[in-house]
Every structure is written in C-alpha cells, then in structure tokens.
Structure 1
Amino acid sequence: MVLFIGAPEVMIVLLIVVMLFGADKIPEIARGLGKGMRQIKDATNDIKREINTSAVKHDIDLDVTKDIKKEIDSVKENLDDVTGPIKRNF
C-alpha cells in the first residue's frame, strides 16, 4: 500500500489514463514525469549541498539532532526509573 492507495485503485487509475491518453502516449508521459522527478531530486540535492557548504564555511553544527536525541533518551530512562515499580505492581 503506497500513500493509502491499494492495488484496485491503482488499476482503475491506470485504466483511466489509458482511456484518456491512449497506449502510445503513456511512455511520453512517463518520460516527462521521470525527468521532472529527476530535476526535483537534483534541485533538492543542490540545496542540501549549499546548506552544508555554508554551514561548514561558517562553522555551524548541523547535527543538533544528536543533542535532542540524548535528552529524549535521558527523559525516557528517568521515566522508566519512576514508572518501573508501578509497572511491576500491575
């Protein structure tokens, strides 16, 4: 299941596409969609690369998530310490 769409829905969409555009236009449409997706991916990678380059140039730490994860893990451990006796009673 991709994006909450099952196999029957995909088949119906494909049938409608074939009926609207014809079998000979489907490869052109797929090629255009592929090129568009590739351009979006390249643009996204360029933006990421630019952010990383700028961050390294200005000595900015991009790995903020490590600190947040550490804090969350410590809160979980403290919570387990507090709720441990309660869980054992049930």
Structure 2
Amino acid sequence: MFGIGGGELVFILFIVLMLFGSDKVPEIARTMGKAMAQLKNATNDIKSEIHKGAEANGLDHNSLTSITGNINAQINEAKTNLLGDNANLTSNLLGDTATEIDKVKEDIDTISGPVKRHL
C-alpha cells in the first residue's frame, strides 16, 4: 500500500490522532472513504465512456490491442534505427567517462592523502 510499512502506518495514525483527537478521526475516515468511492466511480464512468466511444467508432478490444501493438512495434523499430549506430558510440563514451572519473578520483586521493593524515 503506497510503500508504507506497518510501523509507518501506526506512526501516521498516532500523529492523526494527536492532531485531530479521537472524536474527529472516525468522521475523517468516513469522509476519506466516501471520497475514494467517488473517485473509483468517476474512474469507472470514464472507462465505460471510452469503451462506448471506441465501440461506436467500430473499435473493439482486439483491434485496440492490435493498434497498440503496432504502435509499440513502430516505436521500437524507430529506437533501433536511431540508436543502432549510436549504441557502440554511447557505450564507448560511457566507458571513457568512467575511466576519466577513476583518474580524477585517484588524483584527489593522492592530493588529499597528506591532508587527511594531518587532520
């Protein structure tokens, strides 16, 4: 649930209880529940409208899936064409950059070695 563990949830509930008091917590929970239900209903309504519009235009689930698959295939092909020649260039560039970074780290360690010893 949103990456929140049990201990974190208990802590959040404790803070809410301290801020709003025991009288307001059930009212807040009911309000939050109603808001979540309204959000879910609105989402379902939007989904159903999209499906109705697609069916009215002669598109069913299978045709939408095939269109999506074709679009993804075209995108992947364009990526391959665009990055195919540059893939080796990119890996060489990254390798050269890592080598230069290592050299700079060694230089910093060499320079700061005596300073660290004096501190």
| TM-score class, shorter | 0.5 to 0.7
CA RMSD of aligned residues (A): 2.1
- TM-score normalised to the size of structure 1? 0.66
Unaligned segments of structure 1, at least 5 residues: 73-90
Q: How does 1:22-33 map to 2 (within 5 A)?
A: 22-33=21-32
* TM-score using structure 2 length: 0.51
Structure with higher RCO (Cα < 8 A, 6+ apart): 1
Once superposed, which parts of structure 1, at least 4 consecutive aligned residues long, lie more than 6 Å away? Answer: none
Larger radius of gyration: 2
Task: Give percent identity, aligned residues only.
Answer: 49
- What are the superposed Cα offsets for residues 8-45 of structure 1, whole Å, 9 maximum, x if unpaired? 11111111000000111011101110111111111111
- SS of the aligned residue for 1:59 comes to coil
* Alignment map for 1:9-88 (pairs within 5 Å): 9-63=8-62, 64-65=64-65, 68=69
Aligned pair count? Answer: 69
